[in-house]
Chains A and B, each alone.
Chain A
Amino acid sequence: MEFTELDKKIVRALQDELPLVAEPFKLIAEEIDSTEDEVLERLQLMRKSGALRKMGAVLKHREVGFAANALCVWVVPDARMDEVAVIMCRHGAVTHCYDRNVTPDWPYNFYTMIHGSSREECEAIARQLAEESGVSERQMLYTGREWKKTSMSYFI
């Protein structure tokens, strides 16, 4: 979809927090001199085109019981990439799956974020992913200190 000036205004107004009021989109519309119908219509288009990935909540996962978090990186043969991705994406405990560049001293090309209540749980999930996909070469990079975690601010 083509991004209009109105769309950019909508993105700017909505990228932080959805107001916790009965009619949040009406409030947003008033802020940007638009109408509720127009805002909802544009958002539906954005959702359809994939520009709006999600409207909803993201939890502080460490606070709600997911204490162990690992970036598990794998070496997947390029020819098997799509097939392996389907297998790994099926798991609810895996929130991100990316195919990424390699470098001369870094052969890992497939990235999965795994979340569990403990390291043992993360290890068990990784073992299961390995068995189901047939990919054995992996490394678990556990998350330590989180120095920064925010959402991107677009069009500012």
Chain B
Amino acid sequence: MKLELTALDKKLLNLLQGKVQLVPRPFQMIGQELGISEEQVLARLQVLKEEGCIRKIGAFFNSDKLGYRGTLVALKVRPELMEETALFINQFPGITHNYQREGAYNLWFTLITPNERLRQDILEQIKALPGVEETMDLSARKKYKINVQFNLK
């Protein structure tokens, strides 16, 4: 990102991360809080998005409430086969995050599926990969907090 965030950008992004109101003119409401116009809010957001500091502006749903089931899976992957293993895992739409981490378990992904059969099928395919030495299925027993919000100062 080449852009230097201004004080106003930071305020705008902090507000926007919190809550976009479910009203006909949500960006007008944000503008009112910042003392700028709706057009200015929209124009600035377009720039910030193009500059690559926003991953997404939109709706985030709770998979459990939509009838889906999510899990976190940790793998021990042979380092020389990391790339091909990671790329194979990436192909499944239900795998939303796939990160390398430091430690013996060095690849971690989240999987969201609408039924048990698909879930098992994907996990079996991954377990069978030549680079995968160990697999742990770390399903959540309880979710206490999900609030991806970064306070920009």
Interface, chain A (partner B; CB < 8 A):
3, 11, 14-18, 20-26, 36, 40, 43-44, 46-47, 49-61, 63-66, 71, 81, 85, 88-89, 92, 94-101, 103, 106, 109, 111, 115, 139, 141-156
Contacts and interface: CB of A to CB of B under 8 A. Distances in A.
A25 B24 contact: yes
Nearest to A42: B22
Contacts of A71: 101, 108
B151 interface: yes
A60 B144 contact: no
A145 B148 CA distance: 19
B17 A56 contact: yes
B65 A50 contact: yes
Given A24-B26, A55-B20, A71-B108, A15 B144 contact: no
Contacts, number: 233
Nearest to A141: B101
Contact of B24 (A36, A49, A64, A106): A36
Q: Could you tell me the dominant secondary structure of chain A's interface residues?
A: mixed
Given A22-B38, A150-B96, A152-B94, A60 B140 contact: no
Contact of B112 (A85, A139, A141, A152): A152
A97 B99 contact: no
A110 B28 CA distance: 41
